[in-house]
Amino acid sequence: MTRVDVHDPRATMRVMALPGPGERLRLERRPIPQPGPHDVLVRITACGVCRTDLHVQDNELPDIAWPIVPGHQAVGEVVAAGARSVVPVGTRVGIAWLAGTCGACEFCATGRENLCDHARFNGYHVDGGFADYMLADSRFCFPLSVATPAAESTPLLCAGLIGFRTLRLAGDATRIGIYGFGSAAHIITQVARYESRQVFAFTRPGDTSAQDFARRCGADWAGDSHQPSPAPLDAALIFAPDGALVPKALRDLKKGGTVVCGGIHMSDIPSFPYTDLWQERQIRSVANLTREDGHAFMALADRVSIRPQITTYSLESANDALDDLRDGAINGTAVLVMD
Ligand SMILES: [Zn+2]
Ligand SMILES: [Zn+2]
């Protein structure tokens, strides 16, 4: 991509936009937006593709701001900043799911901005990173080290962060089951191993490629999701959007164990006998992230030296990336690379 003068009002950028529910991404040229007082304009280097982008395409989330540019795992360089930006021009930043919060509701006031009543999300309520440039509120960006290639940092911003929050909600569980071995799972397995936990990976039945991948990432055991766990689990982390895994995971738990559902959308959970929940087993979900999660996880990721596995696509090939993710044809994370 040739450098353009971002302050030139005639300058344009490429975006891949979803025009409406169920439609495919369409390449458009749009004017480069100008930052508001708290904003930064970021020249995107790479943007990860997430299962949530499929949920947006499929209209499975409420109140999507159609037409929308998806993408909430963007890494790039700040090329212009508003007067009140807290991030200077020239900084490499990561832009994650949380675009902004109200700062005033009861959740914001009690350290739970991930549950903010008026939260806005990138690639859902505001245009995201499937583009050459993107605006972001500087207060919600994460400065990143330039030591890691930008494309390899992108999976940390959603898959890694949501996986991190999911793992933290499992407490100090030492034996963990992970259901659905995709982007989040392959990152969080590396964190769990770093923390000396055991990881049992459950994949779609017969998906030996994902099972091999799980073992390569450090899982102690990998097998089909309908198999009983070879040993009782302290916690189960569910990343696959399949509600039937919830009662299955409950049955794999020890007494007092927890099932943590890490996805934003899941098919209905079938009913199950109360005895499966009895003995203080619990089921809970994870929603979004706080900025504190982001800063804590980025620091941890540097210590762990997480190596995400990525498959790269050009911006114009974003539809192929979404299709491959939908088909389960990617081990690790699909990443759009802009240059
Ligand atoms: Zn709020
Ligand atoms: Zn995501």
**C-alpha angle 327/260/200, rounded to 5°?**
70
Asked whether 179 and 239 are in contact (CB, 8 A), the reply is yes
Q: How far apart are CA 13 and CA 31, in angstroms?
A: 6
CA dihedral defined by 62, 68, 71, 77, rounded to 10 degrees? Answer: -140
Nearest ligand (C-alpha, residue 286):
2
Nearest ligand (C-alpha, residue 110):
1
Q: How far apart are CA 307 and CA 19, in angstroms?
A: 34
Asked whether 234 and 254 are in contact (CB, 8 A), the reply is yes
Nearest ligand (C-alpha, residue 112):
1
CA of 45 to the centre of ligand 1 (A): 30
CA of 128 to the centre of ligand 1 (A): 21
Residue 115, CA distances (Å) to 106, 169, 262 in order: 9, 15, 15
CA of 321 to the centre of ligand 1 (A): 33
CB atoms within 10 A of CB 150: 22
CATH pick for 12-156+309-337 out of 3.40.50.720, 3.10.20.600, 3.90.180.10, 2.60.120.1140: 3.90.180.10
Nearest ligand (C-alpha, residue 118):
1
Q: Which protein residues have their CB within 5 A of the ion that is ligand 1?
A: 101-102, 105, 108, 116
Tokens of 269: 């959970």
Each domain of the chain, given as residue ranges in start order, spans 12-156+309-337, 160-285
CA of 223 to the centre of ligand 2 (A): 25
Tokens of 181: 């071995």
Reported in sequence order, the residue ranges of 49-174 that DSSP labels E, i.e. its strands, are 74-81, 92-95, 98-100, 120-121, 133-137, 141-143
In this prediction, residue 3 carries a pLDDT of 67
CA of 290 to the centre of ligand 1 (A): 11
Name the pairing type of β-strands 310-314 and 221-224.
unpaired
CB atoms within 10 A of CB 125: 16
Low-confidence ranges of the chain (pLDDT < 70): 1-3
Asked whether 134 and 73 are in contact (CB, 8 A), the reply is no
Tokens of 2: 């040739």
CA dihedral defined by 141, 63, 161, 308, rounded to 10 degrees? Answer: -100
In this prediction, residue 2 carries a pLDDT of 54
* pLDDT tens string 247-286: 999 999 999 999 999 988 899 999 999 999 999 999 999 9
pTM reported for the whole predicted model: 0.90
Asked whether 335 and 310 are in contact (CB, 8 A), the reply is yes
CA of 121 to the centre of ligand 1 (A): 13
Q: Which of 98, 94, 120 lies closest to 42 in space, CA to CA?
A: 94
Q: Homologous superfamily of 160-285 in CATH?
A: NAD(P)-binding Rossmann-like Domain (3.40.50.720)
Name the pairing type of β-strands 253-261 and 282-285.
parallel
